Structure 1
Amino acid sequence: MKYRLFLVGIFSLFSSLALAQSMAASSIEAPPSRKQLSALTYLDNMQQAYKHLNYELLYINTVQNQIDPKQIIHGVIKGKPITYFRFLNGEMREFVQFDGKISYYEQGGKPYSLITNREQSVFSNFANFDFKKVNQNYEYIILGKGRIAGKKVIAIRMLSKDEYRYSYIIWLDLDSYLPLRIDTINQSNLILQQIMVVSVKVTEAVNPWLEHLSHQKAPEVQHIPKVTSQEIAPWNIKWLPNGFKIIKDDQHRLMLHDTDPISYLMLNDGLVSVSAYISTKDTEVVKQKNIIKRGSTLLYTEQQGNIEINIIGEIPLITAEKIAASIERVK
């Protein structure tokens, strides 16, 4: 396969073949009586469906009145999951994840691959989240039933038990248990970000397009250069929201810049990742803040004296402020 995916001709051909395949029932079946399941059982079924079914989703991602239509095709070939993803508007952007690699194709750029087993597709954070383990951080409430993309769905609310994280509403297809909509909601019940499926197709056989991609040679693997220093960051975070842990802690110099090392700490609660960057400046200032929001994503900058802290993640402002205020130099 040359380092481009010629979608206009080839993809249309394989899509036509896929349409000829008969629709099959989900391998995860609801009880014959259709009695109400618990919220956690529905969510467990969702995770199994998202990982193991063969399906195609067309969906829109809405952030601050900006709508991005996207497509995902997922299948399992000889026990290995394969995912094809593309943006439907603007310049061509797509990726293929299969067999421990993720390959990126962008219009005007050279395709490349990265080694990773971490899922990059939409809904993947929820598909890998341990709902039962973190039951102390969320309440799971069944809200009721409705229709999305012509499918009967059930809505489940993940209600945060504190003010330091967002809540979510997840709509699941009652036939396949695939997620068809996820809303990110703040404390005022305002929707900050929404992912909604507008077309869903589940098939018994793997999409022929995925079969084709699985036999193609991936672009050359790019190896991310190591940072110039692997020392532990000389900073400590005294306060974290319940469930969050520091999963990465280092400092390094920016490439091509002769500056003091920048400390980097990554926080994660299994669903949300937060990055903290700490650096020293040449000039000192009285405490000042800068806040940039886009949907549920926050960039919070605080400088006091000659220390600058940047917090980036899908968290409320109060969480970023408390994290920044609790950062202190290790003595």
Structure 2
Amino acid sequence: MLASPRQTPAVLAAALIAVALCTVPAALADDGAAHAWLERMHRAVEELNYEGVFVHVHGGRAESHYVVHRYMDGRVSERIVSLDGAGREIVRHEDEVTCILPDQRTVLVEGRRELSPLVSALPASADALGVHYELLLQGQTRIAERPTEILIIQPLDGYRYGYKLWLDQDTAMPLKTQLRDETGEVVEQILFTSISLPEYIPASAMAPVTPTEGFTWLRRGSAEGHDGQRVEWRAARLPAGFRLTSAAVSMMADSSYPVQHLVYSDGLAAVSVFIEDPQAEGDWTLGLARVGGANAFSLRHDGRVVTAIGEVPARTVEAIARSLEAGDPHEAPDGGH
């Protein structure tokens, strides 16, 4: 799904990345052991079969979800159902994600696995974190009646947030994650209240339970996007470590005009940039704004509204938005901050 900066935080949060830590007491293990736990976690969250209930807290709201995750013959599928509100449902098969929104009578299909709130709450592999984060282990505790190791991912500059992860000691499955901002405040949290890890989950468990007859289906465009249009904007300067990971032209769920969409990531944090069509009309809030657990910065550029949004410090989204210029998005930026 392509989420507009004008949409609700719940929908917008699905398009973004999330969850982790900040200020850390003394670590209890070396960096190599922490990296090994992070790599185990990545294998666990994809290659285990599991079923459970987790609570997603963000933007001052808490929402309960049921999840069932299946790994069979090297292929991943997953179904997540909101147990509150309208009962949104997300079904993932490999990298294709289908979001069923009963309250909007809409089905959104995208080729981005991080639209899953569980996947988006996890950091990238240790190799992708480079020199911009420090990984530490910080002791043990219990979550959902299971012993866990506590893993800290500490940012080394002011352009990104950090993580705190509670990993199951037997499997490295993340049972609790927190994203904390530069002041130590928890921006987002996911906590499993119950979980089971069966050896086998049938394919039938992946079938959506929400009827979609009469719903509008929307599919996110490719880089050549809507009616053959291409992305024609780039960030001229990026904070160190950030790079382009996606460029597409797509229709918005709440607009008659296509939007150009860029995603920049350092392997952990991600920033989405939306460039509105000049003909689009809307009540935009320019400058800095808070959208759920994310920071957003909007400005007008050559008759278009440009918005950068992500679960990163305000200075990061502002720096990226202000650096936007016309050009090939795949062209290398001039240099980091």
Q: 1:47, CA displacement in angstroms? A: 1.2
Percent identity, please.
23
Task: Write out per-residue CA displacement over residues 131-174 of structure 1, whole angstroms, 9 at most, x where no aligned residue.
Answer: 12323111001122111111111111111111001111111011
CA gap 1:90/1:223 in 2 versus in 1, 3 angstroms: closer
Secondary structure, counterpart of 1:90 in structure 2: coil
TM-score, normalising length from structure 1?
A: 0.72
**1:11-50 counterparts in 2 under 5 A?**
38-50=33-45
Q: Tell me what 1:132 maps to.
A: 127
Does residue 274 (structure 1) correspond to residue 292 (structure 2)? The answer is no
Q: In the aligned structure 1, how far is the partner of 2:250 from the partner of 2:115?
A: 26
- Which letter maps to 1:204? E
Q: In the aligned structure 1, how far is the partner of 2:248 from the partner of 2:97?
A: 25
Q: 1:239, CA displacement in angstroms? A: 1.7
**1:1-331 counterparts in 2 under 5 A?**
38-98=33-93, 101-107=96-102, 114=109, 116=111, 118=113, 120-125=115-120, 129-206=124-201, 208=202, 210-213=203-206, 223-224=219-220, 226-233=225-232, 235-249=233-247, 256=256, 263-278=260-275, 289-303=286-300, 308-329=305-326
Q: In the aligned structure 2, how far is the partner of 1:251 from the partner of 1:113?
A: 15
The answer (yes or no) to whether the contact 1:229–1:253 under 8 Å persists in 2 is no
Q: In the aligned structure 2, how far is the partner of 1:96 from the partner of 1:119?
A: 12
Q: In the aligned structure 2, how far is the partner of 1:77 from the partner of 1:280?
A: 43
CA gap 1:45/1:310 in 2 versus in 1, 3 angstroms: same
TM-score, normalising length from structure 2?
A: 0.71
CA gap 1:80/1:182 in 2 versus in 1, 3 angstroms: same
Secondary structure, counterpart of 2:69 in structure 1: strand
For structure 2, which runs of at least 5 residues remain unmatched after alignment?
Answer: 1-28, 280-284, 329-337
Q: In the aligned structure 2, how far is the partner of 1:72 from the partner of 1:212?
A: 10
Q: In the aligned structure 2, how far is the partner of 1:48 from the partner of 1:68?
A: 26
CA gap 1:178/1:251 in 2 versus in 1, 3 angstroms: closer
Q: In the aligned structure 2, how far is the partner of 1:268 from the partner of 1:213?
A: 30
- Which letter maps to 1:245? R
The answer (yes or no) to whether the contact 1:50–1:127 under 8 Å persists in 2 is no
Q: In the aligned structure 2, how far is the partner of 1:319 from the partner of 1:232?
A: 22
Alignment: residue pair count: 285
**Over the residues paired in the alignment, what is the CA RMSD in angstroms?**
3.7
Q: In the aligned structure 2, how far is the partner of 1:80 from the partner of 1:215?
A: 18
- Which letter maps to 1:230? Q
Q: In the aligned structure 2, how far is the partner of 1:116 from the partner of 1:281?
A: 27
CA gap 1:278/1:211 in 2 versus in 1, 3 angstroms: closer
For structure 1, which runs of at least 5 residues remain unmatched after alignment?
Answer: 1-34, 283-287
